[in-house]
Amino acid sequence: MKVLALISLLPTVSAFAPAFTGKPLSTGFSKAALSSPNALEMKYTVVLVRHGESTWNDENRFTGWYDCPLSEAGLKEAHEGAKLLKSEGYTFDVAYTSTLRRAIKTLWIILEELHLMYIPIVNTWRLNERHYGALQGLNKQQTVEKHGKEQVQIWRRSYDIPPPPCEESSEYYPGNDPMYADVPKDLLPYTESLKLTEDRFLVEWNEKMVPLIKSGKKVIIAAHGNTLRALVKHLDGISSEEITELNIPTGVPLVYELDENMKPIKQGDAIAPLTGKYLGDLEQVKARIGAVVAQTK
């Protein structure tokens, strides 16, 4: 399951005329220079990292908002992802993550590896995993055997059909958790579809993260499989049908390059339908994607 990093790069200047005319602007560039389509190129790099495997991933259970820790394999994945980021020279100013410790721990490992444990960390429930309602805690394969693969795939992978809701008395209802005492109850889910997850995540993305990136802050986000699926759906314009088949592997940094409008620039090593590229060995990445698919076979 996993983490994302957003890194804004400084604008690069190219192809200016030998001499400028007109009244200089506050930026130091003339109107003539800024009107040239190649005069000023803005590019931001966004790195997404899903948290490492959790203990409930290892047990093949629907996890959702349940706050389980990383497994031993997940700790190793987080360290491997951190080393990939370090080898590529990434650094950050602000860190974003969810309220769930598997994502938080993954972030801590990355920040420690990069010697960045001093930077501010923002924890928000809007980055939490999708809430699986009454399915939380159940074994995925046993749920398939009980309800049938087709029904479970609808609950698990459809874009706008949520699983059955949990009861308000359930231990899995977030309104009973002091962690969410400051969140208005009408915002706390009993269950969620990917669409509902996308809706709550994009509030944070549009209102907080995008302005931060555009201000020049380098941001890393450690998040979850479905919150990252929601983000890449938004960035790449992936259809609601196609997103149901997309799987993001745990612990592997996924790098996007965005233009000044936050639109992705396709990279050569991208695995369709994504335009961003994974760091590391792509064959190993594909194998990890296949492992996610196999969870409900």
Q: 251: which 2 tokens?
A: 């612990």
Peptide bond into 273 cis (omega under 30): yes
- Segments in the chain forming alpha helices (H): 31-35, 55-58, 72-87, 101-113, 140-147, 149-157, 194-204, 210-214, 225-236, 282-293
User: Are 251 and 73 contacting, i.e. CB atoms less than 8 angstroms apart?
Assistant: no
Q: What angle do CA 204, 286, 195 make, to 5 degrees?
A: 30
Q: CA 228 to CA 100: how far, in whole Å?
A: 15
Known binding positions: 50-57, 63-64, 102, 129-132, 140, 156-157, 225-226
**Shortest CA distance to 73 belongs to which of 295, 288, 278?**
288
The three-class DSSP label of residue 158 is: coil
The question of whether 147 is a catalytic residue gets the answer no
Sequence-ordered list of residues with C-beta below 8 angstroms from that of 76, at least 6 positions apart, any chain: 52
Annotation says 241 is catalytic: no
Binding-site residue positions for substrate: 50-57, 63-64, 102, 129-132, 140, 156-157, 225-226
Structure tokens at 203: 């509030």
Please give the span between the terminal C-alpha atoms of the chain, in angstroms, as a whole number: 18
Q: Which among 77, 113, 129, 204 is annotated as catalytic?
A: 129
Contact status, residue 73 vs residue 290, Cβ threshold 8 Å:
no
Among 249, 192, 200, CA closest to 64: 192
Q: Which residues are tagged catalytic? A: 51, 129
